Structure 1
Amino acid sequence: MRMSIVALSITAALLAGCGSDDKKTPAPVPKVNTAPTTADMTVDVSQSILFTGKLEGTDAEGGLTYSLVDPADLKLGTFTLVNKSTGEFTYTSDANEGTEVVRFKVSDGQLQAEANLTINIKHGDPLFTYQWHLKNTGQNAFAANRGVAGEDMNVSGAISDNAMGQGVIVAVVDSGLEIAHPDLTNNTVNGGSYNLITGTVDPTPFSGSATAAHGTAVGGIIAAEGWNGIGGRGVAPKAKLIGFNFLDEDPTGKVTNVQTFENFAKSHGASAYSDSARVFNQSYGYSVPFPHGFDEDETEVYQDIATQSFDGKGSIFVKSAGNGYDYYRFRTFWLPGDYFTATTENPANHGLPFHNSNMSSDNANVYNLVVSAINAKGKLSSYSSVGSNIFVTAPGGEYGDNDPAIVTTDFMGCVKGSAIAEDRPSTPFHGGLNPLNPNCDYTSTMNGTSSAAPNTSGAVAVIMSANPDLTWRDIRYILAKTATTVDADIAPKTVTIGEGEGAPVYTAIPSWLQNAAGFSFHNLYGFGRVNLTEAVKLAKSYAQDLGDYVVTEWQASAALTKAIPDADINGVTDTQVVADDLVIEAVQIELTADHLRLPDLAVELISPAGTKSVLMTPYNGLVYQGVMDKNDPDDLVKGYDATPMLSNAFYGESSKGEWTIKLIDVNSGSYRFVKYDQGYISIPNEADGKLKGWSIRFHGHAAKSAS
């Protein structure tokens, strides 16, 4: 008890002392935590364009953290909280229209506040979600089967970077262009087109056929207007179009041939009618069953416009490779002899292309950027012509019934074009019964390298808009450098020479190669599929110096009489030493060789670095020798006669050193083909061929010296 009294006395004394000492520090005031504040927000976004914003939030003490209340509430798009400390976010949606409400909160670690972010998606394109070539989500595009997600041209990043083709004019040289189409009219140059038959500024075709609608479909792939609430959109939705009906026919019969050289010049940049265009789309071509040379007049136009227009920056001519892998048409249909008996296990023509793209001399012209077609599964389109002249591949799709084709513009109305009303429309999208296409203004069956070319033309326009100072050669470099390697594990295509065990096997189409300059190349795909987002990135930071453009003179071999042994994998070779030290941008040859059965021959070119390019595959469709009039000297085909071929496989390598050409005969047996109006036709194997000569020419720029 005494101890308790003492303790209490001490405590009282201490308390009394505290209260009476003026020098003591006052007791601290408790810190008050102010609650963070936020507010509801509303933003407007456009379909498929990445939106960047910042969530509202303040706190007197600082140190906020942002988060979503329930991320599962997001239904229409993708919301990414880029920075949880600042509230920075991105949002993108492929929805045509709609409203998304995002509930978010801000917290200082103790207290929090919540608010709503309302996102209004406006001005979309209802068919965009079916345009797998722009963004492949695995959709079917009104076909029976779906594509593979991601197998597209990677367009979204370029669009979000505001590279949409603005300021670039693209010429559609085709059947014509329906400039009144509601998805095209705002993106056509007023008065800029030309009708090569009537002389007016309206190139709308006369016929209402699906064939006549071809150019309108092409125009939509390039530059259908975006974010206007109708249809789909083009690869370059802010580019401008001019149209020329170069492939049209005069219904009156007064103009018997539209495809004259005069009209070629008018529509390909060599006149005031078309010199405003910096990109020329040529979704046309021809396949012939015999070797032939360049049209010198047309080649001169190509070279002049490609290299000299726009103050030397030049223009780009985009060209479809052809649709003749299985067969082609020249007045009638020409097919391999085993076409009708082929199976999956034993494909027709040994699995090789009947129409090699180098068979068409305009495709061997370096000023044409030749494009093959790829489908929605990331494989070569079943019909696409291929060859060493392919520069890139781009979406062409399949036929739109079983597997996706391209969704694009068609003639307006349900009585003309591809989407017409009929008893059994080819797809549920056609015929006027689909709510997305009630007026049949759009088609879902556009395909072919005719679609791959405008996909590339649109991409070129976008690249130009990202950096208007680029030259035609810069753009080719960018496409080659940024292209996506597709179908990476594709097996080589081979043929057996002769019969029996141990018979040699010839590789007619090798797998992907990497040349000595580091570029990957394949005869089916060129440098790969167009990758637009990466191309725009490189265009905006472009620093490559390609130097002055150099074209060497043709360097010819001596006159030769070298026998081509029959069915011998060793073939025959000849070598030329090249002194010029150029960085290669393209290589052309002209070949002269006698052979009475040209489909037996493969033609290879080997560079000093050892890169091998197959310029002409065997079992090709050069079969005219089976139907020629042997008594008519003008109809006689003895073989190759200064026949041009182009290869892009050597891009970036040096031209200096030994170049070797090699011809291999792969067949000593029988050979036949089908000419549709005559039936099966055989070509005898009567004599060994002869290599008689060849010339080589390089396009490129001078190599930099070591200093």
Structure 2
Amino acid sequence: MKLSAKKASLALFNALLLSSITACGGGGDDHGTDPIPPEPVDPVDPVDDDEQDESTIKLSVIEYGDMFTGKPFIIKFEQKPSVSSLKGETLTAITAKYGVVTDVNPLTDESAASGTVFYYLPLSALKALGDVYSFTEEFTVTDADGNISVYKLAQGTNTTHGDPLLTDQWHIRNVSQNPFKVSKKPVKGIDLNVIPAWHEKDSNNELLSGKNVRVGVWDAPIDLNHEELKDKIYTPSRITSDVNKGLTLNDVINDKTLLHGTAVAGIIGASAGNAKGGRGIAPDVLLTSYAMNGTDTSFLARKDDLDIVNASIGSSNSFSFDPAFEMTLQAMFENGIPFIKAAGNQFDSITYDHDDLYSTKACLRYKVACQYEQSSSIERGRYQINVAALNSLGEHSSYSSAGSHIWVSGTGGEFGYLGSGSDSAAVVTSIYSQDPSKYSDWDAGTPWRKDSTNYESRKFYTQRMNGTSAATPSVTGVSALVLQAKPDITVPQLRYILASTARNDRDWSSLAYSSISAYDSDLGETVTPDRGWNSNASGLRFSNRYGFGVVDAEKAVKAALNCNSDELCAKRASLPQDYKNTNSNPCTTSDDGKIVTCIFSDFVNTEDSSDNQSEIEVEEVSVNLNSFGYTSDSPETIVEDDMAATYCNYAASNKGYIAGIAYANNLLQMEIRSPNGTIALVKPFYANWDFSGKVLNSVYGLGYKSPFLVNTSDFFTEKFSASNNLFILTFKSKCSIDVDELNKHIYLLVGGYPDRAAD
């Protein structure tokens, strides 16, 4: 880079603010123009000025940049005071071997101050360096007399402006690293593609880092003293004792699960460039801690207090029915606060007693979902972003719950080091601000913790965080980058961006899997408890394991920056309208309730009865099942050794016999066919579910006043005519469904965008 003439500054430097760049005297070495990946450097700060004896020019770093984001360094140059033959100019050129030297700020286009230049590493140069996490930049300086000197600057994770554990965070950058000593090391390239997203700029020409995006972590309390988190905790305008309450050592000694919230927070927003720990996906977010089991949930819907809520929590109990909380979820949606929610860790878990009484173990045999997750009120928000988990091999995490309500997948990993010969990596994040010797350490005994060389840098961190609890904050972190890129974004726009940019089985072969069929002797037929990947009528790929696929941070932020020019994204600046079928008694059966077909037609806008002719673009589809249940003679007592047919009777009883309900629902399937022919597997065979609307309403005396809405993602962005098209719901069941009761309250609700020009 040619520089304008700049008079040498002979001012003394403040050693605390400026670090010298190592100079190696030279005589015109040819460094070439094609970058060659360097060897990783020893993690040391630049050496002192007195080692630059052969150079006539002094270079010093005024402000550190970042090799992983392209943030520019500001470098000061001056003629050494010991040089007597000044000629009015200090130099004619500075060039860098790998990066770019310029007198114009690459972010803001501002000119450099006198005696300074900018230096940055473009994304293309970072990629050319390969898999390194540190390297030595070489600057060639030519002074006014034609003398050439070479200076070196160490960059990377183990410098005073780096993050030493970033090298272990495969979810951010997967280069097949394996400091965990797991038998199945991470597969290169399986990550969230975060680094290119960090190179994008917002409307203020600032790099994307989640800056000033406020994230509420609804979880166990965050450790407010953690070195990665303490500087980013903010206090909402209205608080209770459960907001930012913090953790004590005694809390953690008594219950190590309380470390969960701190681990979640670190994945979202651990600080960058502080020479400590790793790095969050959105390292400049603001965080507040809403303690689960105590927080007034209405706090979660206050837009003046937060921008995103992360909920790595859940409940599989259908009798945790809370219509008031469901209203909070709707208020969050209307107020523009995304509710990003863990899908659950029960893909291979059986949760109900008496599982020996019915064929629930078939889910393990056929490797399909063991649990139906749309149970409690917290699981069934119509517009929440439900997150499944991907492991470091690029596959569905073994525990990650599946279902038609999944939106996207994040990085949850597996269980970390188990010494089993079949283990793979979990996720590295913050854990606690006390030495692990003082409490029950998650990582005790693992090679990662036992490595004495790295103990000090790792002691406040874990490599054992996993589950959809880890996948969810990975999506929240990416969403925070998206919100910085587009601060006025709506929840529908965020959902659209995440879904439309996610990577599916056509992008990564490791995600591919086919439909799964099984012959069931109880039913006497072959069933399909997982349909694999399918394309809906608008061309989006979807599966019950991955949703629309694995989040791609780079594509997501670029889509956010271009949202207003994307028709489907731009229309989602407004909220969808609700359309409800108006045909009565939609459900019929010809075989005593074993197969029930419900046809929904004549959709009308719930707030404008004259709006019944529009073409609707689907945002969300839900069916109200609050009167779903079974019919038969209902015994007053349970006889433990009765056969399966008797358990159908128990399921029909209003006494709340969970064993009978679980048996019946285990052998229940629900599919919805859209007007365009797309099939959504809403409730598969073998997925355990304790729900009976008849029992729920009877036990709690609810009287069917509140809906029990079960939703599906499959039909997103499909279009249908409100007046001419039909949605068809089909139940298949071992036990007889009470069709008469079902017809009293069932309906289909479509949230969508009307196109009245098509009327």
| TM superposition score category, shorter chain reference | 0.7 to 0.9
Which residue of structure 1 lines up, in the alignment, with residue 35 of structure 2? none
- 2:194 counterpart of 1:159: no
Query: CA separation in 1, counterparts of 2:591 and 2:274?
Result: 64
Query: CA separation in 1, counterparts of 2:397 and 2:68?
Result: 27
Which residue of structure 2 lines up, in the alignment, with residue 489 of structure 1? 512
Deviation at 1:113, TM superposition (A): 10
- Unaligned 5+ segments in structure 2 are 1-27, 32-54, 78-92, 102-118, 201-206, 418-422, 604-611, 631-647, 649-663
* DSSP 3-state at the match of 2:222: coil
Which residue of structure 1 lines up, in the alignment, with residue 173 of structure 2? 135
Query: What whole-Å deviation, never above 9, does each CA across 1:598-629 have from its counterpart, x for those lacking one?
Result: 1111101111111110111111112579xx99
Identity %: 24
C-alpha distance 702-142 of structure 1, shift in aligned 2 (>3 A): same
* DSSP 3-state at the match of 2:477: helix
Which residue of structure 1 lines up, in the alignment, with residue 307 of structure 2? 278
Query: CA separation in 2, counterparts of 1:307 and 1:370?
Result: 18
Query: CA separation in 1, counterparts of 2:238 and 2:165?
Result: 27
Query: CA separation in 2, counterparts of 1:146 and 1:609?
Result: 43
Query: CA separation in 2, counterparts of 1:212 and 1:492?
Result: 39
Query: CA separation in 2, counterparts of 1:143 and 1:242?
Result: 34
Does structure 1 conserve the Cα–Cα contact (< 8 Å) formed by 2:348 and 2:363? Answer: no
> Given the alignment, which residue of 495, 499, 505 partners 1:476?
495
> Given the alignment, which residue of 646, 651, 658 partners 2:716?
651
Q: Report the more deviating stretch, 526-535 or 614-623.
A: 614-623
Q: How does the TM-score come out when normalised to structure 1? A: 0.73
* DSSP 3-state at the match of 1:390: coil
Deviation at 1:316, TM superposition (A): 0.9
C-alpha distance 97-347 of structure 1, shift in aligned 2 (>3 A): closer
C-alpha distance 36-428 of structure 1, shift in aligned 2 (>3 A): closer
Which residue of structure 2 lines up, in the alignment, with residue 672 of structure 1? none
Which residue of structure 2 lines up, in the alignment, with residue 446 of structure 1? 465
C-alpha distance 607-117 of structure 1, shift in aligned 2 (>3 A): farther
- Aligned ranges for residues 666-685 of structure 1 at < 5 Å? none
Query: CA separation in 1, counterparts of 2:563 and 2:298?
Result: 32
Q: How does the TM-score come out when normalised to structure 2? A: 0.68
Does structure 2 conserve the Cα–Cα contact (< 8 Å) formed by 1:320 and 1:452? Answer: yes
Deviation at 1:514, TM superposition (A): 1.6
Q: Report the more deviating stretch, 459-468 or 346-355.
A: 346-355
Query: What whole-Å deviation, never above 9, does each CA across 1:232-275 have from its counterpart, x for those lacking one?
Result: 1111100010112224xxxxxxxxxx36xxx2223x134xxx84
Deviation at 1:116, TM superposition (A): 3.6
Deviation at 1:306, TM superposition (A): 2.3
Deviation at 1:352, TM superposition (A): 1.8
C-alpha distance 365-593 of structure 1, shift in aligned 2 (>3 A): same
Does structure 1 conserve the Cα–Cα contact (< 8 Å) formed by 2:392 and 2:413? Answer: yes
* DSSP 3-state at the match of 2:711: strand
Which residue of structure 1 lines up, in the alignment, with residue 621 of structure 2? 587
Query: CA separation in 2, counterparts of 1:366 and 1:224?
Result: 30
Which residue of structure 2 lines up, in the alignment, with residue 235 of structure 1? 281
Query: CA separation in 1, counterparts of 2:368 and 2:67?
Result: 42
Query: CA separation in 1, counterparts of 2:716 and 2:758?
Result: 20
Letter in 2 for 1:179: L
* DSSP 3-state at the match of 1:594: coil
- Aligned ranges for residues 56-455 of structure 1 at < 5 Å? 90=122, 91-92=125-126, 100-102=136-138, 116=150, 118-121=152-155, 122=159, 123-140=161-178, 142-144=180-182, 145-161=184-200, 162-189=207-234, 196=241, 201-204=244-247, 207-208=251-252, 209-247=255-293, 258=294, 263-266=296-299, 268-270=300-302, 275-288=304-317, 291=318, 295-308=322-335, 314-327=336-349, 329=351, 348-401=364-417, 402-413=423-434, 414-415=436-437, 419=441, 425-430=444-449, 433=452, 435-437=454-456, 440-455=459-474
Larger helix share, 1 or 2: 2
The number of aligned residues is 585
> Given the alignment, which residue of 571, 579, 583 partners 1:546?
571
Letter in 2 for 1:287: S
Query: CA separation in 2, counterparts of 1:456 and 1:377?
Result: 18
Query: What whole-Å deviation, never above 9, does each CA across 1:359-400 have from its counterpart, x for those lacking one?
Result: 344322123211111111111111111111111110111111
- Aligned ranges for residues 22-37 of structure 1 at < 5 Å? none
C-alpha distance 447-192 of structure 1, shift in aligned 2 (>3 A): farther
Deviation at 1:99, TM superposition (A): 5.4
Letter in 2 for 1:283: S
Query: CA separation in 2, counterparts of 1:139 and 1:80?
Result: 28
Letter in 1 for 2:517: T
Does structure 2 conserve the Cα–Cα contact (< 8 Å) formed by 1:419 and 1:431? Answer: no
Does structure 2 conserve the Cα–Cα contact (< 8 Å) formed by 1:338 and 1:349? Answer: no
C-alpha distance 653-179 of structure 1, shift in aligned 2 (>3 A): same
> Given the alignment, which residue of 676, 684, 699 partners 1:609?
676
Does structure 2 conserve the Cα–Cα contact (< 8 Å) formed by 1:196 and 1:246? Answer: no
Query: CA separation in 2, counterparts of 1:542 and 1:417?
Result: 48
Query: CA separation in 1, counterparts of 2:372 and 2:561?
Result: 36
Does structure 2 conserve the Cα–Cα contact (< 8 Å) formed by 1:42 and 1:118? Answer: no
Letter in 1 for 2:68: S
* DSSP 3-state at the match of 1:397: coil
- Unaligned 5+ segments in structure 1 are 1-34, 57-63, 69-77, 82-86, 107-111, 248-257, 309-313, 668-684
C-alpha distance 149-418 of structure 1, shift in aligned 2 (>3 A): farther
